[in-house]
Structure 1
Amino acid sequence: MNRLVLGCGSVGLPLAERLARRPERLLVVLEDDERRADSLREEGIDARSLERTDPDALRTVAGAVDSIVLAPDETDRLLPLARLARAAYPDAFLLACFDSGTAAADRTAVSDLVDRTIDAAAETSEYVLDRAGDDGVRMRKFKRILRDIDGTLAVIAHDNPDPDAIASAVGLTRIAEATGTDATPCYYGNINHQENRALVNLLEYDLRNLTEDVDLDEEFAGFALVDHSRPGINDGLPESTPIDIVIDHHPPRALVEARFVDLRSNFGSTSTLIAGYFHQLGIEPPADIATGLLYGLQTDTDDFTREVDVPDFEAAARLVDRADSSALQRIESPSVTADTLETVASAIVNRRVEKDVLTTGVGRISDRDALAQAADKLLEMDGISTTLVFGYTEEVVYISARSRGTDLDLGEALRDAFGQIGSAGGHAEMAGAQIPVGMLVEEDDEADRGEVIEEVITERFFETMGIELTRPATAVYADFLGTDELGE
């Protein structure tokens, strides 16, 4: 694809010079003045003159183009160039540079044709370059796909969504609605974690809890995934569901198929990406959205201490002035359920430590979110760098893991340990896994179930970590039950 500059005035020339030094893109600057084109070529810029100003001629000279900057010397040429560029490349990103001599009527007409305008007299070439870059192309494609959806877009968070997934789903819904597309934030499973419930209730988020009996094709015309990237993996969608949009910050385990995909694993949260979309599209997030996105960013980066990057701080700086600080305080200090306290207590009692790695099983659970809270809490213990907490329901074993201050990639470790018998993944310092109970246990006896799960999970994880167990996992499980022999 070519990045194109149409015209080469006082803004276009320095911009062309900067673009020409970028090896990853072929630059084509079009001028109807052959002498100007010759002069640019002498400076090492790929400049080509355009004799006929019609769309076919432009496509013939320029080839495939995904972004165009309109920066002519003569202000009266800006509108004709905008019409030419849009006719030749209806799907390209167009940025127009106004100057002080651009007439008001031309400004209005050009603005209707292009994706973004700037006041060239007030901006640097670096600013123009940023606006003409990959983010502009991405936003152009994103808006086009949103507008193609003829009906309601289902914005799907992952199962039992956390604050990052919740805020991202609601945020993307608002963005879709601002572009004229109906959208509904959805999730499968439950919202049990007390802070997650507080987030939804205090900010009055209207999320739809989907069940298996919902006729997806009947109710929705399109599907977007946030904070995860594949249908049927950590959500209740059929794996064959065609996906329109994927926005996620987790590294993918396999090919992600969608009409629009934005995966940036260097970001600390999906909320960071969604906040960036508000900014790039020029949409001001309302207070409830800004509050949720800031909280989602904050929790997924562990208060900006875990896998955080510059864009996370920039997003937070834009959100903080619009966020409701009082609501944030109430979300962060909700009441804790008895089930959560019992799970954390069981995790403490049943802990097993080998070197600086702690594992613990809590038995049958009713709230899987409590596992993450236990993993975070146990990571605070002196001398512990990695924690893994697991529990099970009738059908699934859930695992939550945390680490800090190590070279370990926890997401890779869990994939190595459990990827062949279930789904696993995450980031270097925060990861999880889900394993069907049927992959581990054939009998229905509760005592046998707990024993087998304890043994398989613990031994697989320590083996992956390269740590030799000092005691069999079954012996630790017997201590937890308070018996001399298992089953007594």
Structure 2
Amino acid sequence: MERPLEQLRAALDSKIPVLVQTHDFPDHDAMGAAYALCELLLRLGYECSITYGGMIQSISLASMIDQLDIPLLAFEDAVSGPERQTIVVDGSPAAGTIKATAGRLVGVIDHHPSRKPMKCPFVDVRTQTGSCSAIIWSYWKEAGEEPDKTTATALLAGIQLDTDFLSRRVSAEDLNAHYDLFFKGNSKLAREVVRTALSLEQLPEIGRALMEFRVNGVFLLTEVHGDYSSELLSVLADFLLRLKEIQFVTVIEVSGGEYRLSARSRSHDIDAGEIIRRVLSGKGTGGGHPHMAGGFIKPNKYPGAERLLLDITNAAAEYRSENETDSQGN
């Protein structure tokens, strides 16, 4: 039986440059996984570059890219350049996290569930793994290669972000990868670049968001006004989920060309990724994990806070009903 890296290499043409593409608007896990996969492929003799769609919205991710000196190829240059074969990491067109690939899609490596079949030669989707970086670490182990300090640090940062420092959706693969990488990389730097970077100018908006929230049962939604980094949405969502009466939180930024949102769930029967995907259908795009999701709404499709909260509540009720029916049917 072929192992994942063997299968990936069988799908690749060694004479054509490889493009490792993250999900649009990448985070630390996507970037860490992309960098580590690219470094491994370079060692194995492939020509390789990293690209992404959208933009870097995270202050701390920009710091990570700068401090680790991660080379990136602009998406426009990747599209207009010579023929390339593309491997998507931490996302997929089928999951709706990538609008377009910059080259010919050859492989998908992800840990997000997909609602559509993958149409490419190589697919490695491990939904039980908390981070895509841990999956890429397993490729290094399969190859019998030891990552250098920079690569180990990038993978550590990715694992720590998506598992919230090993406190959320952690698999044995995440734990083994973290243990193996901890002393090989710069653990202090990995920790620092994942810590959220907020600024004093955001405090008034944080205060307003905490005062002007809306609640419907166990669901809470609040808006932030202004062009802020994605960390602000994530921090508020994580913080508000600490409320004992609340099981699902949505924070939406009502500003700019696309209204970004971040959602969190701590209920086993409310899948944040599926709920947000359903609610944003026809309004924008979104999805993610059962416990954590994100997305975008077109400004002219935004129904307002009250209506969006009601849509989320109704979608969750429908989702619960469907799963109860499925359980009874089985």
TM-score by length of 2: 0.87
Structure 1 residue 170, shift from structure 2 partner? 0.4
Structure 1 residue 406, shift from structure 2 partner? 4.0
What residue is the counterpart of 2:93 in the other structure?
230
Task: Give a deviation string over 1:123-173, Cα, whole Å, max 9, x none.
Answer: xxxxxxxxxxxxx43322212233x14332111111221110010110111
Q: Find out whether 1:306 has 2:157 as its counterpart.
A: no
- Once residues 95 and 313 of structure 2 are traced to their aligned partners in structure 1, the CA distance between those partners, rounded to angstroms, is 29
What residue is the counterpart of 1:162 in the other structure?
27
What residue is the counterpart of 1:359 in the other structure?
221
Q: Find out whether 1:292 has 2:154 as its counterpart.
A: yes
1:194–1:335 CA contact under 8 A, matched in 2: yes
- Once residues 231 and 369 of structure 1 are traced to their aligned partners in structure 2, the CA distance between those partners, rounded to angstroms, is 26
SS of 1:223's partner is strand
What residue is the counterpart of 1:99 in the other structure?
none
Cα 1:381–1:187 shift into 2, 3 Å: same
Q: Find out whether 1:203 has 2:203 as its counterpart.
A: no
Higher relative contact order (CA 8 A, sep 6+): 2
Q: Find out whether 1:184 has 2:35 as its counterpart.
A: no
Alignment of 1:77-476 (within 5 A): 136-146=2-12, 148-211=13-76, 214=77, 216=79, 218-230=81-93, 233-235=96-98, 237=100, 242-333=104-195, 335-338=197-200, 340-440=202-302, 452-466=303-317
Structure 1 residue 343, shift from structure 2 partner? 4.5
Cα 1:371–1:337 shift into 2, 3 Å: same
Structure 1 residue 342, shift from structure 2 partner? 4.8
RMSD after superposition = 2.5
SS of 1:244's partner is strand
Letter in 2 for 1:390: I
Structure 1: runs of 5 or more not aligned: 1-66, 68-135, 441-451, 468-488
SS of 1:438's partner is helix
For these two proteins, the number of residue pairs brought into alignment is: 318
Identity of aligned residues (%): 27
Higher Rg of the two aligned structures: 1
SS of 1:188's partner is coil
Structure 1 residue 231, shift from structure 2 partner? 7.7
Cα 1:202–1:405 shift into 2, 3 Å: same
- Once residues 345 and 276 of structure 1 are traced to their aligned partners in structure 2, the CA distance between those partners, rounded to angstroms, is 43
2:196–2:231 CA contact under 8 A, matched in 1: no
TM-score by length of 1: 0.60
Cα 1:144–1:340 shift into 2, 3 Å: farther
Cα 1:421–1:359 shift into 2, 3 Å: same
Cα 1:438–1:174 shift into 2, 3 Å: same
Structure 1 residue 233, shift from structure 2 partner? 3.8
Structure 2: runs of 5 or more not aligned: 319-330
- Once residues 392 and 202 of structure 1 are traced to their aligned partners in structure 2, the CA distance between those partners, rounded to angstroms, is 31
Task: Give a deviation string over 1:43-92, Cα, whole Å, max 9, x none.
Answer: xxxxxxxxxxxxxxxxxxxxxxxx4xxxxxxxxxxxxxxxxxxxxxxxxx
